[in-house]
Structure 1
């Protein structure tokens, strides 16, 4: 197995460019911040960006924990990659990761200034310093469960094919790690309720929420609610519509990962305006 190092100071844009660097050199596997990534999928490991402290993050990125290192070694034995790209902030870090995972010595090195301009590096450093944002080179759905509520945004990468024509070549995820110097933030259950109340009040066929309960867990939020619906609407498709719309809006506005949403139609009320219109539509 050929081991290549991709090296640059923290915050200079290595993760952002890692997929492109790997693709240009025919490398299928990447080691980045405690994760083993193949293409756009996480194969093994755990992300250092979920550690509670900066020191914990560094230890995770270096695979100091035996179980963590063994998890990645097992995946490497299974897939037997011909080449692998290791991201690190220094030559020493890349060498240490390779030794820790039992890889052959690093045989090639790529430095961030070779693939990014001074302006691009300064821009990346500014984003890291001012906004505390980090990039993980996998699509959002791959890490969503690990970053519930931590400003998780998709970042799509396009390549120009011709005039006015672009090809999607990959997707990355932007997160704010739990060890960020900008501090943690929390969203109260009442705020979640207010968002859901607003969303449901704009769905035709819903009268009001009669009971609401939300539980926050590390992997996401669990929601239960009883609804009072308006007579004349078909209940099952209406409840499905409510689930889909509430999930979409809450995840978009809060970055919380909704793990479960249990909705019950508790009662019906008559609404002369909405009910009559809906009843007429159902007869048609």
Structure 2
């Protein structure tokens, strides 16, 4: 197995350029911040960006927890990659990760200043310092379930094909970890209820919510609600519309991932018709 290190200071743009660097060198696997990534998919590991403290994030990235390291080692044995790119802030970090995961010695090292200009590195570090943004080199849909409650932004990468013409070559995700903020934030279950009540009350065919329950878990929120509908509307399409609109608004306004949403129609009411003049 060929092991290549990609090295640069924290926030200098390594994760942003990792996919391109790997593709240029025919490398299919990347190790970045505790994750083993193959192409656009996370195949093993836990992201260091989920840690609540910076120290915890560093420990996660270095695979100091045995169960975390074992998870990635099992995946490496299963996939048997021909080459792998390890991201790190120093030569020592890259070599330490390779040793921890029982990989061969790092035979090639690429430094961020070899693939990015000084201006690009400064801009990346400014964004990290001032806005707390971190890049994960996989599409947003791939990490959404694992980063419920975090602020996620898709970052699409284009390549110029000609004058005024661009081709989408990949997507990465921008995440703002807890340790990038001063303090923490919480969103109460009642806030979730108020958003859903507003959405549902504006859907034609729904009378009201008769029961509501929300549970916030690390992988997302679990919602149970009973509805009273208006007689005369086709129920299945109506419930599909409710599910779609509720999911869109909750994810847009709170960044929370809805893991499950159970909707029960408890009763129907008949609207009184206004007498004809």
Alignment TM-score > 0.5, same fold: yes
**Secondary structure of 2:76's aligned partner:** helix
Asked whether the 8 Å contact 1:157–1:170 carries over to 2, the reply is yes
Question: Following TM superposition, by how much is the alpha carbon of 1:163 offset from its aligned partner in structure 2, in angstroms?
Answer: 2.2
Q: Which moved more, 1:235-244 or 1:262-271?
A: 262-271
Relative distance call for 1:271 and 1:217 in structure 2 (3 A) is same
Pairwise CA RMSD: 1.6
Q: Map 1:131-210 onto structure 2 (within 5 A).
A: 131-210=131-210
Q: 1:16 aligned to 2:16? A: yes
**How far is 1:219 from its partner?**
1.0
- The worse-fitting range, judged by mean Cα deviation, of 22-31 and 121-130 is 121-130
Give the SS at the match of 1:179.
helix
Work out the CA distance in 2 between the residues paired with 1:182 and 1:157: 30
Query: 1:273 Cα deviation (Å)?
Result: 7.1
Secondary structure of the 2:179 match is coil
Contact 1:132 1:182 in 2 (8 A): no
Q: How many Å separate the matches in 1 of 2:236 and 2:134?
A: 41
Partner of 1:266: 266
1:155–1:172 Cα contact (<8 Å) kept: yes
Alpha-carbon displacement from aligned partner over 1:156-197 (angstroms, at most 9, x marks no partner): 211122223222211111111233243321111121112112
Which runs of 5 or more structure 2 residues have no equivalent in the other structure? none
Residue 90 of structure 1 is matched in structure 2 by 90
Q: Greater CA deviation, 107-116 or 83-92? A: 107-116
Name the residue aligned to 1:255.
Answer: 255
TM-score (norm 2): 0.94
SS of structure 2 residue aligned to 1:72:
helix
Partner of 1:112: 112
Matches of 1:160 and 1:175 in 2, distance apart? 26
- Cα offset for 1:119? 2.0
TM-score with structure 1 setting the length: 0.91
- Greater shift, 264-273 or 195-204, is seen at 264-273
Gaps of 5+ in 1: 275-284
Work out whether residues 150 and 255 of structure 1, in 8 Å CA contact, stay in contact via their aligned partners in 2. Answer: yes
Number of residue pairs aligned between Structure 1 and Structure 2 = 274
Offset at 1:52? 2.3
| Residue 55 (structure 2) aligns with | 55
Q: For residues 34-73 of structure 1, what are the alpha-carbon distances to aligned partners after superposition, in whole Å with 9 as ceiling and x for unaligned?
A: 1111101111111111122211111111111222212212
Deviation (angstroms), 1:87: 0.3
Matches of 2:150 and 2:266 in 1, distance apart? 34
Runs in 1 of length 4+ with deviation above 6 angstroms? none
